[in-house]
Amino acid sequence: MKAMRQPVIAGNWKMYMTIAESLDFARALKPLVVASTGCEIVVAPPFTAIKAVSDRLEGSNVEVAAQDVASEPGPGAFTGEVSASMIRDAGAKWVIIGHSERRQYYGESDESVNGKIHASIAVGLLPIVCVGERLEERNAGRAEQIVDAQLSGGLRNLTESEASRIIIAYEPIWAIGTGQTATPETAQQMHAFIRLRIKAIFGGPIADKTRILYGGSVKPDNILALMNQADIDGALVGGASLEADSFARIVNYKQSD
Ligand code: PGA
């Protein structure tokens, strides 16, 4: 089953990188991954650099994501928001939705995640939908319950064909930016659970095809062990995606040890 799922390695730049820095990164990354055919490669610059990075990467094997999107399709009077069609217009093909930092600091709810997914799919953007539990929730034995609620709320009212375009990123909050990666076994356990839940909601064929990425302190030296797990189909990388060299080593995980 895993063989039929093309891995995705995505870099989430968060609130880092000016336009000039983004272009330097794109220039440095391209030759390092030009021969990487084993996975889809995605970078998520801040909104301000999406257009420049997309232009610079045009025709390469690296695609661009936004880090968030408005839930209103627009156009309309929504000051500060950026619509899915504007993101397409700037050259991105993907969008990260429901990252834990958006949930924690900006009040992102499963309901708004759901709206953002619908708005994105309507214009052909591929959503990377983030889920994950806090440390105290895991310690209380509630990790699966939390992720289950995020999935059923976030993925509400999608047709099978819409659901087939979605990528899930499991990012335990205690592993993000802490250097404390989930062990491959812990991650695998949750990924298998997520696939089961997708099967329950959308059926077996969609569950088998859905890419489930792991995120949380992914580095060049732990990616291979994570990717060797049956239900881990890629990674969403924060800190280690900010240097072209370390991001390329993660993308090229099969070549390095
Ligand atoms: P990290 O971030 O790799 O720096 O832990 C991951 C993320 O927030 O997507």
The catalytic residue among 40, 63, 137, 171 is 171
| In the predicted structure, residue 19 carries a pLDDT above the cut 80 | yes
Which pLDDT value is given to residue 257?
A: 46
DSSP label at 69?
A: -
DSSP label at 113?
A: H
In angstroms, what is the span from residue 55 Cα to ligand 1's centroid?
25
| In the predicted structure, residue 108 carries a pLDDT above the cut 60 | yes
Position of tokens 């992914």? 218
171 a catalytic residue: yes
For a mutational test of ligand 1's pocket, the pick from 237, 246, 250, i.e. the residue with the most ligand atoms closer than 8 A to its C-beta, is 237
Taking the alpha carbons at both ends of the chain, their separation in whole angstroms is 24
CB atoms within 10 A of CB 58: 10
CB atoms within 10 A of CB 68: 21
The catalytic residue among 63, 99, 137, 191 is 99
pLDDT tens, position by position, 47-98: 999 999 999 999 999 999 999 999 999 999 999 999 999 999 999 999 999 9
Which pLDDT value is given to residue 256?
A: 56
Closest-CA residue, ligand 1 atom 6, reads: 238
- Identity of residue 203: G
Closest-CA residue, ligand 1 atom 3, reads: 238
Cα–Cα distance between 131 and 109 in angstroms, integer? 11
Which pLDDT value is given to residue 104?
A: 96
218 in contact with ligand 1, CB cutoff 6 A: yes
Cα–Cα distance between 56 and 37 in angstroms, integer? 19
Does this model's pTM top 0.95?
A: yes
Which pLDDT value is given to residue 255?
A: 78
177 in contact with ligand 1, CB cutoff 6 A: yes
pLDDT tens, position by position, 170-226: 999 999 888 888 899 999 999 999 999 999 999 999 999 999 999 999 999 999 999
In angstroms, what is the span from residue 75 Cα to ligand 1's centroid?
31
In angstroms, what is the span from residue 74 Cα to ligand 1's centroid?
30
In angstroms, what is the span from residue 171 Cα to ligand 1's centroid?
8
108 a catalytic residue: no
Cα–Cα distance between 124 and 126 in angstroms, integer? 6
Which pLDDT value is given to residue 187?
A: 97
Mean pLDDT of 108-125: 98
